[in-house]
Every structure is written in C-alpha cells, then in structure tokens.
Amino acid sequence: MRILVANDDGVYSPGIAALAQVAAEFGETRIVAPDVEMSSAGHSITAARPLSYKRTPNKSVEAYRVNGTPADCVALGVSQWEKVDVVLSGINLGSNLGNAIWHSGTLAAAKQAALMGLRGIALSIPVPKDEPDFESLKPSVREVLKVLLKETAVPLINVNFPHESPRGMVWTRQAVKFYDGKIVAGKDPMGRQHFWFTVVPLTETEEGTDLWAVERGYVSITPLRLDLTDEKALALMQARRPLDSAPAAARKTG
C-alpha cells in the first residue's frame, strides 16, 4: 500500500511527523506538504504561478515541501508518485468539527484525493492550551488506521480525536446546526481599524454528531461525500416548480 501524507500546518508540523510514523507501519509512506502553514485555506488551488517540489529532511519517511496549498500538495504528490492508494491529511493542530470542515485546509487535502478517485482521510485534534502529546496519541491513531485503511467503500472520511485519551471510537454525522465563525474588530498600534476572523466555542451539541462525540471523549469518525446536492430539496422543487426536462431543453436550444 502507498500512503501519501499531507496537511495544512506545514511540512515541519509535529502532527504530520506523528501521522507519517504510524502510517509507515501500514505501507510505503511519503509526505508532501506545504512549506509554510496554510490553515483555513479551504480547497484553493494555485493556478497563477508554477509550484516547486523540494526534498525535505525527515527522520522517518521520504518528504517533500511544496510552495502551495494542501490541495496543491495532493495533486502534485500523486502526479510524482505512481499508484498512491490513500491520502492521509493531518494530524491537524485544531479540531475540524461541524461547519469548520467547509474552510479546513486539512479536509481539502482529503477531498482533493477523493476528487482524483483516491481515498482521503483527514485527522485532527483540538489544541485548547498545550500542544498535544503526539507520542501518547499514536496508539489511538494506529487503531483508527487499522479500521479505515481496510475500508475501501467510503472515499472520504473526517476523523477528530479528543484532547485527552479517547474512550473509544464512534461513527458520527457532521454537526451543522451552529456556525462558529466570528468577526472581531480592533485597532493596530497606529490606531487604524482592522478585523480578525476568529472562532467561538460551540456549547450546544446534538447527540450523534462529531462535536457531541469529541466533547464526550470519543474519536469521531464521519463519512463525507463530494456531492452537495440536497436530494429532498431537488425533489421538492421538481414537484413544486416543474422546469423543462433535459431532452426538451436540448430540443429548444438545438
């Protein structure tokens, strides 16, 4: 098995080093990650300039740094390493729960893998105060990979670890009821106004969601999909507001 490891915290992050070390127990592993931190970069790609792909020292596995986004790293890494089986992204320094997955660079790397017909697994852990103890986290990462690397039916999965030692693993759904983004106004030393985009903690959680599981000390494992179509809304609109069928529309334009 060939495992490509990416992230959005950068190639020198302790999280990606820990993940690569555990991944190497399951197959041939290579790191391809941004040369600087690209947190919250979403699924942006670099199209206005060329990208570089440079060998980077790493004690455990072969590693390369890219002057681009997490999605760039996956696309470039797969192009430079044939027959990649799965892409692991993380371990991110900070949770990717609920609506945070929309702008997460960690999730974007896994999504890029799924877009390319590969499996993508994103892994994250909260950082409330101190940096996580990745050495003690490795057994939990190992147990997660034992389950998910064998599961080929789901192309895109989001994994979140609790800050403390996990009580177990549970399958969850994404929490979407509340949004945790917030704009905070301030002033710089010259008195000029500026703004910070920040995150506020969510206190209400719905049972069975990723937030609910992590708050209770479980590893949250959420299967995701690339198709954003709201099937119920589509069926409702087709019934309430019938439009031209595709063949009819084609006849009109032809």
Question: Tell me: the pLDDT tens digits for 139-177?
Answer: 999 999 999 999 899 999 999 999 989 999 999 999 987
- pLDDT exceeds 70 at position 253: no
Backbone angles phi, psi at 146, to 5 degrees: -60, -40
Residues 22-68: tens digit of each pLDDT: 999 999 999 999 999 999 889 999 999 999 999 999 888 999 999 99
DSSP state of 140: H
Using alpha carbons, select from 95, 100, 122, 84 the residue that is nearest to residue 6: 122
Using alpha carbons, select from 82, 207, 221, 75 the residue that is nearest to residue 148: 221
CB 108 within 8 A of CB 8: yes
Using alpha carbons, select from 98, 122, 103 the residue that is nearest to residue 211: 98
- pLDDT exceeds 60 at position 254: no
Q: Put residue 53 in one of left, alpha, beta given phi > 0 → left and psi -120 to 50 → alpha.
A: beta
Kindly report the number of other CB atoms within 10 A of residue 46's CB atom. Answer: 15
CA distance 116 to 108: 12
* Percentage with pLDDT > 70 across the chain: 93
Q: Is the overall model pTM greater than 0.85, yes or no?
A: yes
Structure tokens at 166: 């996990």
CB 169 within 8 A of CB 219: yes
Q: Put residue 187 in one of left, alpha, beta given phi > 0 → left and psi -120 to 50 → alpha.
A: beta
Preceding peptide of 91 cis, ω within 30°: yes
CA distance 120 to 43: 14
At 173 the three-state DSSP class reads: strand
